[in-house]
């Protein structure tokens, strides 16, 4: 249960819920429902009651601070008819903390933070003034946590940790995940092919593994989930499915711990001691940005030219004026010359050239918005392809950049190391 | 209602809920509750039912794709006993979209996306294949939206917009907002100065206006909120506050409808018929990307060089080798030469040069991670400044890029039109 008007109004993105989700999932505790409510006592009460009916553990974040709109603790105490009493140890901690901050005594407004529902367990907050609180009620264990991410994390990984450990289900019930990243194939087609490949597996092999398709603008992740007493046991259950789909996904799969194709490209370039350079027209620097987002990219990235005007294409990158006149700036020959030109100019093993119509204006019948020519040059050999991407300007640029990186990834994978 | 196991497991942060919260709040529609459920039909049904009891409008995101774990549409149709029927127009759109992607026909798995609950309204999705769906039920209006953020946003601002407009509360009850964008001042200092300026206002002027501070990595937005029968009436209430803080915010304020400083810079360059060029080392193309994210940027952007290696700085941009040797690549003189060099190379009126240590490695005692020298060249005159930015690699790059754009913005504002 996430408490706070700022979450409902969208002023703050609820990163706590995702962080707790990952933390609990990793412990083998499955998260079944999330609630977001404002700073309203009856809404908080409603959500905690519903959450306690649906599960054995309820984590409530936010509304523990010292201001008048912090209602969580009083509301939950009242729900379970527990009087609030001052906890001497918490008060002592508050005194130490405020005196370290240069205050002679604890401000009146802040004293309420030492009040704890009778019979509950105080969870020390090493990062701030509001401690966490753990309550065992008839329906469920209810944990109250501050909404400041750093404080919440410190409590969950500190004082709360042994309580969570004790609540883990027996090993056999834990769920483990494996993710296969793909790019360059639309979700519906991937699904069709993957499901068809898996349909040939015996039901006792297929059934115990969950498969989820997670698409975004860059591609589709396949997430396999299986129970197991250990990660190895779960992966052994997942392995036959990975085997069955291997041929289908091979042309689209990439290896990356972060899920970012730029990581995969960087890893393969580094393994071969190769450097890359980019000549970007319609993508306007986004491929260079993605590569340099990663630390240590100077090893594998020589640099790039954002060749937005034709003048830059011609003067800096050696694109022929007459080719631009004959075929247009968005053409196979220009993509070819951009990729080869930037590799030569910046002394790089690999060059990328991208030229296209990102829109919303500039499209024609022959070259509608979304038309992008991509060239890749690997050790002097150039290949080109035509992409047609859908969506708005941002999506077209993102998809074109991803396709260019995917093309480089495939070609570099096949290049010799040296 | 946000649907998806990946949200519960914390693999994806639910940015859609926050975006919808802001969008609805801006329209004067108050958001009272949020639910997150997994890809489980009975959980989706439960959440939609509870949400419909609590409010007049229920927005359901996620679970509209073509894969077997996309259950939202079928579940909601069944809840309200509406048979699914194939919508010819949606099927036609699917055909066009898939044939543009080089497919002969719509894959079987994708056809389900043309099935619509009887009597519902189809909301066109210009970015993808799954349209939004609007259903009027006894309890509430229920809107189903895809979970891919770009698609969701396009539908909400496109086909759904008139329906949301019609659901706005009566004028007199409405809250209107005015946002002042700032960059280059930290939240605590801005808050202190703004609150001090407003403290001098009479209480009957100050009290009716809400002030929120919305910080992100680029700066702090000040949002003023007031009731009013019309936008004008609310703005009249807000005006005295804007007046009171005018002097305090003037050095940091910028004018932009999107809130993006790149828009503000583009507008001012265009008004003066000026073109810009970028030479980016540590920011690696992100300034060029931000400028070219905007349509029509070829008017005002000549191009850029991502000068990641020293060789590129020297060979392409005319940075002196001996200056790099004497002062280092991260130095005032190199930032100066980058800015002047790229403006000359690409025949631009304005040049930006950025060189710094984005980390996590590469810092020294003298030049710790976060040290960035920025040069701006406007019509041949170069100015430089030293920035020290906090945060991880991404945050340092984002802050350095923003600071460079802010410096250009201030200088171009003072430049004559011509």
Tell me the pLDDT tens digit for each residue of A374-396: 999 999 999 999 999 988 898 99
B233 three-class SS: helix
From CA A72, how far away is CA A146, in angstroms rounded? 10
Inter-chain touch A21–B7, beta carbons under 8 Å:
yes
The answer, for A11 touching chain B at a CB cutoff of 8 Å, is yes
The answer, for B348 touching chain A at a CB cutoff of 8 Å, is no
Question: Which segment of A70-74, A126-130, B57-61, B111-115 scores lowest on mean pLDDT?
Answer: A126-130
Query: Of B40, B125, B114, B54, nearest to B84 (Cα)?
Result: B114
- Residue B12: band (very low, low, confident or very high) from pLDDT cuts 50, 70, 90: confident
From CA A57, how far away is CA B287, in angstroms rounded? 46
- Region B56-74: mean pLDDT is 92
To the nearest whole Å, the CA of B283 is away from the closest chain A CA by 7
- Residue A51: band (very low, low, confident or very high) from pLDDT cuts 50, 70, 90: very high
| Choice between A140 and B104, residue whose per-residue pLDDT is larger | A140
Helix (H) or strand (E) holding B46: helix B41-54
Task: Kindly give the residue spans of alpha helices, DSSP state H, lying in A161-260.
Answer: 161-167, 187-199, 203-206, 231-249
Residue A170 predicted with pLDDT over 80: no
CA dihedral A29, A35, A38, A42 (to 10 degrees): -100
Contact between A199 and A166 under an 8 Å Cβ cutoff? The reply is no
| Choice between A80 and A109, residue whose per-residue pLDDT is larger | A80
- Diameter of chain A measured on Cα atoms: 85
CA atoms within 13 A on the CB side of A91: 11
What integer pLDDT is reported at residue A110 of this predicted model?
76
- Closest residue in A to B128 (Cα) is A391
Residues 6+ apart with CB under 8 A from A243: none
Residue A101 predicted with pLDDT over 70: no
Residue A278 predicted with pLDDT over 70: yes
Residue A251 predicted with pLDDT over 60: yes
To the nearest whole Å, the CA of A88 is away from the closest chain B CA by 32
Question: What average pLDDT is seen over chain A?
Answer: 92
- Residue A129: band (very low, low, confident or very high) from pLDDT cuts 50, 70, 90: confident
Task: Kindly give the residue spans of alpha helices, DSSP state H, lying in B160-260.
Answer: 161-167, 187-198, 203-206, 231-249
- Region B283-303: mean pLDDT is 95
Placement of tokens 């706005």 in the chain: B168
The answer, for A7 touching chain B at a CB cutoff of 8 Å, is yes
From CA B200, how far away is CA A413, in angstroms rounded? 67
- Residue A172: band (very low, low, confident or very high) from pLDDT cuts 50, 70, 90: low
The answer, for B183 touching chain A at a CB cutoff of 8 Å, is no
Residues 6+ apart with CB under 8 A from A138: none
Residue B2 bridge partners (DSSP): B36, B61
Beta strands in B229-344 (DSSP E): 253-254, 276-280, 301-306
Task: Kindly give the residue spans of alpha helices, DSSP state H, lying in A67-171.
Answer: 72-79, 88-100, 108-111, 149-157, 161-167
- Residue B173: band (very low, low, confident or very high) from pLDDT cuts 50, 70, 90: low
Query: Of A174, A186, A218, A177, nearest to B6 (Cα)?
Result: A177
The answer, for B126 touching chain A at a CB cutoff of 8 Å, is yes
Residue A418 predicted with pLDDT over 70: no
Exposed, middle or buried: residue A109 (CB in 10 Å: 0-12, 13-18, 19+)? exposed
| Choice between B216 and A76, residue whose per-residue pLDDT is larger | A76
Structure token pair of residue B319: 């940075």
Query: Of A243, A242, A235, A257, nearest to A175 (Cα)?
Result: A235
Cα distance from N-terminal residue to C-terminal residue, chain A: 54
- Region B228-234: mean pLDDT is 88
B219: left (phi over 0), alpha (psi -120 to 50) or beta: left
**Phi, psi at B304, each rounded to 5°:** -155, 160
Structure token pair of residue B386: 């030293």
- pLDDT tens for B392-412 read 898 899 999 999 999 999 999
Residue A194 bridge partners (DSSP): none
Dihedral sign computed on CA atoms, order B114, B118, B122, B127: negative
The answer, for B23 touching chain A at a CB cutoff of 8 Å, is yes
Closest CB to B101: pick one of A186, A307, A393. Answer: A186
From CA B13, how far away is CA B9, in angstroms rounded? 10
Q: What is the ipTM of this complex?
A: 0.80
A–B interface: beta-carbon pairs under 8 A: 295
- Region A48-68: mean pLDDT is 90
What integer pLDDT is reported at residue A214 of this predicted model?
84
What integer pLDDT is reported at residue B336 of this predicted model?
98
The answer, for B50 touching chain A at a CB cutoff of 8 Å, is yes
Residue A67 predicted with pLDDT over 80: no
The answer, for B99 touching chain A at a CB cutoff of 8 Å, is no
From CA B318, how far away is CA B312, in angstroms rounded? 9
Residue A245 predicted with pLDDT over 70: yes
Placement of tokens 């038309």 in the chain: A371
Inter-chain touch B109–A188, beta carbons under 8 Å:
yes
**b/e map B254-280, b = 16+ CB within 10 Å:** bebeeebbbbbbbbbbeebebbbbbbb
What integer pLDDT is reported at residue B394 of this predicted model?
87
Structure token pair of residue A128: 């701030």
Beta strands in A23-112 (DSSP E): 33-37, 57-61, 84-86
Inter-chain touch A11–B347, beta carbons under 8 Å:
no
- Residue A127: band (very low, low, confident or very high) from pLDDT cuts 50, 70, 90: confident
| Choice between B360 and A104, residue whose per-residue pLDDT is larger | B360
Contact between B358 and B394 under an 8 Å Cβ cutoff? The reply is no
Distances (CA, A) of B330 to A34, A414, B282, B310, B387: 47, 37, 9, 11, 11
Closest CB to B8: pick one of A32, A38, A370. Answer: A32
From CA A268, how far away is CA A208, in angstroms rounded? 34
- pLDDT tens for B74-96 read 999 999 999 999 999 888 888 88
From CA B220, how far away is CA B266, in angstroms rounded? 20
What integer pLDDT is reported at residue A334 of this predicted model?
97
Inter-chain touch A223–B43, beta carbons under 8 Å:
no
From CA B67, how far away is CA B220, in angstroms rounded? 41
CA dihedral A290, A296, A297, A303 (to 10 degrees): 120
- Region A172-194: mean pLDDT is 89
């Amino acid at each position: 249960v996430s408490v706070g008007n700022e979450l409902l109004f969208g002023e703050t993105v609820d990163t706590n819920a995702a962080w707790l989700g990952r933390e609990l999932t990793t412990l083998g505790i499955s998260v079944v429902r999330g609630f977001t409510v404002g700073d309203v006592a009856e809404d908080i009460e409603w959500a905690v009651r519903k959450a306690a009916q649906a599960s054995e553990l309820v984590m409530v974040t936010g509304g523990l601070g010292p201001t008048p709109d912090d209602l969580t603790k009083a509301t939950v105490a009242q729900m379970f008819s527990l009087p609030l009493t001052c906890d001497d140890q918490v008060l002592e901690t508050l005194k130490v903390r405020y005196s370290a901050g240069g205050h002679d005594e604890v401000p009146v407004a802040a004293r309420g933070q030492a009040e704890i529902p009778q019979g509950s367990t105080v969870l020390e907050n090493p990062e701030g003034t509001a401690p966490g609180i753990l309550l065992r009620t008839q329906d469920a264990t209810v944990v109250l946590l501050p909404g400041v991410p750093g404080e919440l994390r410190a409590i969950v990984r500190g004082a709360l940790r042994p309580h969570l450990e004790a609540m883990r289900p027996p090993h056999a019930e834990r769920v483990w995940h494996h993710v296969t990243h793909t790019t360059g194939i639309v979700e519906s087609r991937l699904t069709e092919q993957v499901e068809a490949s898996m349909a040939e597996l015996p039901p006792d092999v297929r059934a115990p593994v969950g498969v989820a398709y997670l698409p975004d603008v860059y591609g589709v992740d396949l997430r396999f989930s299986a129970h197991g007493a250990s990660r190895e046991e779960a992966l052994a259950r997942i392995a036959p499915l990975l085997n069955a789909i291997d041929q289908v996904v091979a042309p689209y799969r990439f290896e990356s711990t972060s899920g970012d194709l730029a990581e995969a490209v960087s890893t393969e370039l580094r393994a071969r001691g190769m450097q890359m350079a980019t000549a970007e027209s319609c993508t306007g620097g986004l491929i260079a940005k993605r590569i340099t987002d990663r630390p240590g990219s100077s090893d594998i990235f020589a640099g790039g030219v954002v060749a937005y005007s034709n003048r830059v294409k011609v003067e800096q990158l050696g694109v022929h004026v007459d080719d631009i006149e004959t075929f247009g700036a968005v053409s196979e020959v220009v993509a070819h010359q951009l990729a080869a030109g930037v590799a030569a100019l910046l002394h790089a093993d690999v060059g990328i050239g991208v030229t296209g119509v990102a829109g919303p204006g500039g499209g024609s019948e022959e070259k509608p918005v979304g038309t992008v020519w991509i060239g890749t040059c690997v050790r002097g050999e150039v290949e080109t392809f035509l992409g047609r991407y859908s969506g708005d300007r941002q999506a077209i640029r993102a998809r074109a950049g991803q396709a260019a990186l995917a093309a480089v990834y495939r070609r570099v994978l096949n290049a010799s190391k040296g």
